Structures are given as structure tokens and as C-alpha cells.
Amino acid sequence: MTDIRITTMSSKGQVVIPQSMRKTLEEGEKLVIIEDAGMFIIRKASDYAKSLQADIEFAQRTEAAYLEVERGKYVQMSAADFLKRGRTHER
């Protein structure tokens, strides 16, 4: 049966995992929190592949770059124009 409990978040964003649910957790254990459409999933980081941290960092950098493009921070140009522009700046 699924164990369901209610907890609260502090003003510092801290959430207490009820004692009955943390039997398999060790103090200091890293947890992954995934938010999707208002649903939060917490899993032990050790449940994921060793490359998880690198994958998360790559996804965060990609998302940040995408948002910058959406805000118009970069210009779009063809490969030929890009190469022309690079040759102009070399001189």
C-alpha cells in the first residue's frame, strides 16, 4: 500500500520527510527533486546513473541558453553569413 503523509515547507524552503518514510535514507544522502505540472517527485540520487549530475547541468545550461534566445539576446544567421562575419573580425 502507498504511504501518504502531509508535511509543510519552512520559510527557508526546507521540507521534513516524515520519519516513517525515511527508513531507507541516510543523513546527508543526496535527493533528486523533479517538478512536473505541480507534482513533485523525490528520489534518491543513488537510484540514477553516475552521469546524472552532468546530465542535469547540461539540461540547465541548455534551458538557460534557450531562454536567452527567446528573449532575443542572440541573432540568427545563415552559416555563410556567420563565416563571412568571422573573417571580417579576424582582420
Give the C-alpha separation, 89 to 91, whole Å: 6
Q: Is 6 exposed, middle or buried (0-12, 13-18, 19+ CB in 10 A)?
A: exposed
* CATH number attached to the domain at 1-48: 2.10.260
What is the per-residue pLDDT for 90? 55
Domain spans, the chain: 1-48, 49-91
Residues in the chain: 91
Place of cell 541558453: 65
What does the pLDDT profile of the chain (91 residues) look like in tens digits?
Answer: 678 889 999 999 999 999 988 888 999 998 888 888 888 888 888 877 777 778 888 888 888 888 888 888 877 788 888 888 777 655 5
| CB neighbour class for 52 (10 Å; exposed up to 12, middle 13-18, buried from 19) | middle
Do 42 and 22 contact (CB within 8 A), yes or no?
Answer: no
